[in-house]
C-alpha cells in the first residue's frame, strides 16, 4: 500500500493518476470487506464476554447472598469474575485482541480512503485545466 507525495502526483500523467485511483479503489474495497469481518469478530467476542460476565456475576451475587453478605459493586464483581473464571478471562483476551485488530485495520482503511479521495480529487483538478 503506497502513498505518494504531492510532487510525485504533480509529475504523473492523467493515465498514471487513473491507475493510482484504480489501485487505491481495489485496496479500499478489500480493506472495507476485511474491516467488516474484523468488526464482526470483535462484536461477537464482546457479546460472548458480556454474556459470560453477566452469568458469572449473577452466580457470585447469589453466593454472597447465600453467605449473608452484601454483594460487592459491579466493577469489583467483574474483577472477581475475571480472576476466578479462567474461561471468561480467555474470552476477554480474545475480545481485546479482536478489537485491537479491528482498530488497526480501520486506521489503515481510513488512510487508504484518504489517499483514494485525494488522488481522485487531484486527478479531477488536473483534467479540468
Name the nearest CA neighbour of 1 among 83, 107, 124, 101.
107
- Long-range contacts of the stretch 50-59 (C-beta < 8 A, 24+): 52/81, 52/85, 52/87, 52/88, 52/91, 53/78, 53/81, 53/88, 56/81, 56/84, 56/85, 56/88, 57/81
Structure confidence at residue 56 (pLDDT): 92
pLDDT tens digits for range 26-73:
999 999 999 999 999 999 999 999 999 999 999 999 999 999 999 999
Q: Distance of CA 92 to CAs 31, 102, 122, Å?
A: 26, 15, 45
Q: What is the CA radius of gyration of the chain?
A: 24
Q: Is residue 123 within 8 Å of 14, Cβ to Cβ?
A: yes
Structure confidence at residue 10 (pLDDT): 83
Model pTM score:
0.80
Structure confidence at residue 101 (pLDDT): 97
Distance CA 113, CA 50 (A): 33
Amino acid at each position: 500500500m503506497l502513498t505518494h507525495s504531492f510532487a510525485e502526483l504533480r509529475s504523473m500523467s492523467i493515465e498514471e493518476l487513473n491507475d493510482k485511483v484504480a489501485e487505491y479503489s481495489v485496496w479500499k474495497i478489500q480493506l472495507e470487506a476485511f474491516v467488516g469481518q474484523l468488526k464482526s469478530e470483535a462484536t461477537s467476542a464482546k457479546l460472548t464476554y458480556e454474556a459470560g460476565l453477566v452469568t458469572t456475576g449473577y452466580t457470585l451475587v447469589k453466593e454472597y447472598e447465600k453467605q449473608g453478605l452484601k454483594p460487592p459493586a459491579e466493577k469489583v464483581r467483574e474483577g472477581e469474575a475475571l480472576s476466578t473464571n479462567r474461561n471468561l478471562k480467555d474470552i476477554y483476551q480474545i475480545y481485546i485482541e479482536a478489537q485491537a485488530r479491528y482498530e488497526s485495520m480501520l486506521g489503515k482503511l481510513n488512510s487508504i480512503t484518504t489517499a483514494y479521495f485525494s488522488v481522485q480529487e487531484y486527478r479531477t483538478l488536473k483534467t479540468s485545466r
